[in-house]
Chain A
Amino acid sequence: QKEVEQDPGPLSVPEGAIVSLNCTYSNSAFQYFMWYRQYSRKGPELLMYTYSSGNKEDGRFTAQVDKSSKYISLFIRDSQPSDSATYLCATYTGGFKTIFGAGTRLFVKA
């Protein structure tokens, strides 16, 4: 079992839709959870960062962590074609080794 599981998609939605992206993880010791966005032929860029359980909102993006079910979510409201990218969830215990999911490819159609 991988430490972080993520459905690779692809996920295709119309412009303006609400997008839900999800990951599960196996190690209850994980404390820090991140979402990265990666455009084609670019490096990942950090979108959202949360510590422990709860919600965090930043503009059109909301990150949720449910430690009881080891479930991580990213919601994108009013999705735009420019949101088309691969979204990677990631975590670490507080050390140096960041563990990434496989990434979900998102396509937002105009």
Chain B
Amino acid sequence: GAGVSQTPSNKVTEKGKYVELRCDPISGHTALYWYRQSLGQGPEFLIYFQGTGAADDSGLPNDRFFAVRPEGSVSTLKIQRTERGDSAVYLCASSRLLPGTAGGDTQYFGPGTRLTVL
């Protein structure tokens, strides 16, 4: 079956512009996660959705970052007034169950969107 897809695969923008990054999770997965991965680093948690609501947005670095998942499926990560420091790969993952349940919960990652802010 289809995995997690993310669009665009690459995005180049200028400092100060607004960008939207899209994530299509695996069908039927209720949990959705956004991570940011800088060069040479592991993924850094940004936000977690259970259904339509953001259950944990503690990883969003500041109020320029916002994410939505209005119908409990596709999610969009929105970045306002982009800065050069926002350049990174933005990864989306989805999972079927809540983490911490018996047997754990496997997160399936998309290929990421590589954001470059000039």
**Interface of chain B: mostly helix, strand, loop or mixed:** loop
CB-CB < 8 A to B107: which residues of A?
46, 98
CB atoms of A88 and B42 under 8 A apart: yes
> How many B residues are at the interface, by size bracket?
20 to 34
CB under 8 Å from chain B, chain A span 51-104: 51, 88, 90, 92-103
Q: Which of A8, A49, A88, A97 makes the CB contact (< 8 A) with B59? A: A97
Q: Are B42 and A32 in contact (CB under 8 A)?
A: no
Docked pose: A42 CA to B43 CA in angstroms: 12
Closest to B109 in A: A43
**Docked pose: A103 CA to B50 CA in angstroms:** 27
In the complex, A45 Cα to B43 Cα: how many Å?
A: 12
Stretch touching chain A among B66-74, B78-86, B98-106? B98-106
State the A residues within 8 Å of B (CB). 4, 6, 8, 32, 34, 41-46, 49, 51, 88, 90, 92-103
- Asked whether, in the complex, the Cβ of B41 is within 8 Å of the Cβ of A32, the reply is no
Indicate if the CB atoms of B100 and A94 lie closer than 8 Å.
yes
Tell me, yes or no, whether B56 is within 8 Å of chain A by CB.
yes
Q: What are 19 A-B interface contacts by the 8 Å CB criterion?
A: A41-B111, A42-B111, A43-B91, A43-B112, A45-B108, A46-B106, A46-B107, A49-B106, A88-B43, A92-B99, A92-B100, A95-B99, A95-B100, A96-B98, A97-B48, A97-B59, A98-B43, A98-B107, A103-B40
